[in-house]
Amino acid sequence: MEWHVDELVHPIIGEPKSQQMSYSMLSMLSMLSMLSMLSMLSMLSVLSNAIHAIHAIRAIHAIHAIRAIRAMVRDVTYIWGNKSRLTRHIPQAQTLGLRLFQNREYITEPRADEDVASLQRGSGMFLSTGGAAV
């Protein structure tokens, strides 16, 4: 007797095995798209910190420039460090990705209150995506 892939049916779900494969491929694609979106959010954070560093250097605010450059370096190391960590732990990647969107502290490290206050006083607007004043 000859079996075809479409004829093999899962005993509980009752769907063909080929359709189950498409579900797993769909979940893998959604995870990859989420990782690319996380990278874009992190790159926005790097960009906002870079803009803040440029403004601080032009205005000769050395302390603000150093803080913005440190935040930018921290964000870049976070991007490259967590890309490899997320791909190593593929089952946990979706859970971690949801936490990244829900809680900003996972995207950038929380700063001391005086850093945030000085950044807010420095230029006025505080971006929630990057944690730097622009």
pLDDT score at 63: 75
pLDDT score at 1: 47
pTM for this predicted structure? 0.30
pLDDT score at 21: 52
Helix (H, G, I), strand (E, B) or coil at 9: strand
Question: Residue 129 in contact with residue 43, Cβ under 8 Å?
Answer: no
Whether 12 is covered by a domain: the verdict is no
Whether 48 is covered by a domain: the verdict is yes
Helix (H, G, I), strand (E, B) or coil at 2: coil
Q: Which strand (E) or helix (H) includes residue 41?
A: helix 17-58
pLDDT score at 14: 53
d(CA 131, CA 123): 13
DSSP class of 89: T
Whether 8 is covered by a domain: the verdict is no
- The candidate with the shortest Cα–Cα distance to 53, out of 44, 45, 62, is 62
d(CA 130, CA 37): 15
DSSP class of 16: B
- Local mean pLDDT, 10-residue blocks, the chain (134 residues): 50 53 62 68 75 74 74 72 52 48 45 50 47 47
pLDDT score at 47: 77
Whether 18 is covered by a domain: the verdict is no
Number of residues in the chain: 134
- Number of separate domains in the chain: 1
Whether 52 is covered by a domain: the verdict is yes
Question: Residue 39 in contact with residue 49, Cβ under 8 Å?
Answer: no
Whether 54 is covered by a domain: the verdict is yes
Whether 69 is covered by a domain: the verdict is yes
Domain hosting residue 47, numbered range: 37-123
126 pairs with which residues across the strands?
A: 133
